[in-house]
Amino acid sequence: ISLTKELLHPLRLSLGRMRVTNGLRDLEKNKEVGGREGSMHLYGRAVDLIPLDTTMEKVYEWCKLNLKTKIRELLHEYPNSKNEHIHLAGVLQTGENQNIRIKS
């Protein structure tokens, strides 16, 4: 719930509709798509998304400005390819170290 409530809902309210292309996945699927060991997708704490009403760049910049203190990872992955998406992982939980990876 916190991923949706704290990250995705505010993002949608500000920038419009998003298509979630990847969310919770098991170990087999994670390996199949080249996911990292320990990926937040394995715990239902990450999504890959594609904006439907705006650009990837606007989503990335909005997240960087508005969600930085809440997220673990923000990545603009595979720009200008058919696999281009925004990877968003968090929400930071009580006592959890902030291990932010933000890059485009």
Q: Tens digits of per-residue pLDDT, 24-64?
A: 999 999 999 888 888 999 999 999 999 999 999 999 999 98
| 8 Å CB contact between 20 and 85 | no
* % of the chain at pLDDT higher than 70: 87
Q: What is the pLDDT of residue 52?
A: 97
pTM metric for this prediction: 0.84
| 8 Å CB contact between 70 and 96 | no
Q: What is the DSSP letter of 43?
A: G
Arithmetic mean of pLDDT over the chain: 87
Q: What is the pLDDT of residue 101?
A: 62
- pLDDT at residue 102 is higher than 70: no
